[in-house]
Chain A
């Protein structure tokens, strides 16, 4: 099936096209909106890096993290304040923004501000939230649940389609390997791409060790570059990485966010790898190994 190209961005922001043969898009920012000052500081730093590297960028940050391990963990600034900050960031930097939302009632407000709305992995098969996402009229970024097979994501895609959404991107953020551990099955990308929509790799959540530290999640950040190179080589259309200027003190996902000091290097690797893949396929032809030999 031919893959669709989706366009992220409305109004005056720099639109980002995600699809086959296009430059690798980057979705990045701090996991949670921690404050107005921090959101702007991060946006400014990421804007400089993405301009230097030359990657299309969508600013990612969430206003309400509803899946934290502990009731004491930072939940976010809340919808009103968070969306106001996101709206101001997109105006100031001309960048499309994405946030997830965890309750169907948050859908309309999220879609009013965000250029791309995101379905959290844990909720990827919840009909009510898929319906709410579709009704925003924005493109939808849906993460494969850690408990889902890549081929079963077709059901979620068909739900979105049944609610009128035909601008979809699917992400892999790891799959449970027993308890407190994730692995990445790189075949998930070609499998999910068979839905006909672009695919994304969430590198920073993939190295997460869910709730491995009692009441918070751990993570093995050192593996981010390895997984990024592998995923890009497998044909992703977008790369998702949460980044922070002070990971140790990040208010959300402190053990998985990529220190911004590494961001430029990883993005450059990803860009080179993406182009190399396109060059290889252009020279040697598309992959056509038949499953039956």
Chain B
């Protein structure tokens, strides 16, 4: 990774907003599971009516919830997604150097970082897989 090009930024690789699974805080939790399945990403971003990121739900969060939650599935599925979202997740700005973002992923042991602007508005999603693909293609090239 130390050989990664210094001129690459988060915005060069991040998935655009219309490719991110995004839900309103009061969406049913079941909808989050469906959105994650459709996008084939292990994350959904919860944004309010102004587009501000209010939390995220990841595969790992759901696994942990399933082991702890004792309520019936029907109640779990009907909860507002925000109730099970991680508030204040680690995020990254679009103009951050890609290398720094990858180091942040390594430090936090995550492979998705919501990309937010200075106002906290979600603008994209940095997913590890496209980064790896890009770097591999550059090495091959």
Contacts and interface: CB of A to CB of B under 8 A. Distances in A.
Nearest to A290: B68
Contacts, number: 20
Nearest to A191: B75
Contact of A293 (B68, B71, B78, B79): B68
A152 B71 contact: no
A191 B74 CA distance: 13
Interface in B44-99: 65, 68-72, 74-75, 78-79
Interface string A275-293: 0000000000000000111
A155 B70 CA distance: 22
Contact of A291 (B71, B74, B78): B71
B78 A154 contact: yes
- Secondary structure type dominating chain A contacts: loop
Contacts of A154: 78
Interface in A141-156: 149, 151-152, 154-155
Contact-residue size bin, chain B (C-beta under 8 Å from the other chain): 10 to 19
A149 B70 contact: no
Contacts of A292: 65, 68-69
B75 A291 contact: no
Contacts of B70: 291
Interface string A25-53: 00000000000000000000000000000
Given A149-B75, A291-B68, A292-B69, 17 more contacts: A149-B72, A149-B74, A151-B74, A151-B75, A151-B78, A151-B79, A152-B74, A152-B78, A154-B78, A155-B78, A191-B75, A291-B69, A291-B70, A291-B71, A292-B65, A292-B68, A293-B68
Interface of B: 65, 68-72, 74-75, 78-79
19 contacts: A149-B72, A149-B74, A149-B75, A151-B74, A151-B75, A151-B78, A151-B79, A152-B74, A152-B78, A154-B78, A155-B78, A191-B75, A291-B68, A291-B69, A291-B70, A291-B71, A292-B65, A292-B68, A293-B68
